[in-house]
Amino acid sequence: MGMPIDSNTLRTMMNQIQSQFDEMGIDPEKMVEGKVELNLEATMNDIAKMMGGKFPKQEPVEVEIETKDEINESELVPLNEDDIFINDDLMILTIDCSRMADIDDSGKGVEIILTSDNSVLSLMVEGRPRPVKKYNLGRVVTNIEEWSINNGILDMTLNI
């Protein structure tokens, strides 16, 4: 190193190194023989303490996110009177679903549910937690008799 060292300074340095090895759990005599055992179950903080260091603690950061007011497509949509035909106790509906991106033209993955005391028709798509569209039927129906989607047009027969 280019600096004069007397034997006393060298012994002090060796004792410091040996005490650091002892704190780390390393036996210098076993190191010479190649038999070094480390405590691998120690946490990173324990290892840092043994080496005399500290890990920085992460401070939580406050983040504010501005959301845009989006138009909620699942709001209640009134049905066009021209698309409703009522005969005795049957209601026949025709709904154009061709412009709904989530609904396949063949109707694959579509589920239709009556909600709100059977006065609201909800169009569900497989894999989505909320309805794609909700239609206000304007009256209470008892059940869905049949339905089909062909080329994006939903045809339904409901019992009133």
Q: What is the pLDDT of residue 71?
A: 45
76-159 folds as Immunoglobulin-like (2.60.40)
Statement: the pTM of the whole predicted model exceeds 0.75: no
**pLDDT tens string for the chain (160 positions)?**
577 788 888 889 888 888 887 777 666 676 666 655 566 677 767 766 655 555 666 778 888 887 665 545 458 888 888 888 998 889 999 998 888 888 877 778 888 888 888 889 898 888 888 888 898 888 888 999 999 988 889 899 999 8
Taking the C-alpha atoms of residue 150 and residue 37, their distance in angstroms, rounded to an integer, is 73
Q: How far is CA 155 from CA 47, 85, 88, 97, in A?
A: 70, 11, 18, 10
Domain regions of the chain by residue span? 7-51, 76-159
Residues 6+ apart with CB under 8 A from 87: none
